[in-house]
Amino acid sequence: DAGITQSPRHKVTETGTPVTLRCHQTENHRYMYWYRQDPGHGLRLIHYSYGVKDTDKGEVSDGYSVSRSKTEDFLLTLESATSSQTSVYFCAISVKRALDTEAFFGQGTRLTVV
């Protein structure tokens, strides 16, 4: 699992409240990603980071922000949660090899917004 830990694993929150999900890695990989997984959509990229304080938007970034103040931690924040953000969120890191890159995923966080 490349030492990736997501917390919390499950969360139920109310509409309009802020929520922060944490991804922690133990191997100092430079690239980290946040995806959301929804039925019929597969996995879609929310934000990614290519270093401390270096982040950029993905395909579905609206309503989300991220921060990376340390190499090992990548935080995803929903400033004001909405029901459309009910989803399973996966953090991933990528490892660059000679011919390609390989991604490793955390166990996921199931978020329910009521």
Partner 1 sequence: GDSVTQMEGPVTLSEEAFLTINCTYTATGYPSLFWYVQYPGEGLQLLLKATKADDKGSNKGFEATYRKETTSFHLEKGSVQVSDSAVYFCALSDPGNYGGSQGNLIFGKGTKLSVKP
The tokens describing 57, both together, are 């938007």
- Name the segment binding partner 1 (CB under 8 A); options: 14-22, 64-72, 75-83, 102-110: 102-110
Closest CB to partner 1 among 63 and 108?
108
Integer Cα distance of 6 and 9 in angstroms: 7
Integer Cα distance of 112 and 99 in angstroms: 39
Q: Does 56 bind partner 1 (CB under 8 A)?
A: yes
- Do residues 70 and 52 make contact, with C-beta atoms less than 8 angstroms apart? yes
- Do residues 78 and 18 make contact, with C-beta atoms less than 8 angstroms apart? yes
Q: Does 27 bind partner 1 (CB under 8 A)?
A: no
- Name the segment binding partner 1 (CB under 8 A); options: 15-23, 62-70, 79-87, 105-113: 105-113
60-99 residues in contact with partner 1 (CB under 8 A) are 90, 92, 94, 96, 99
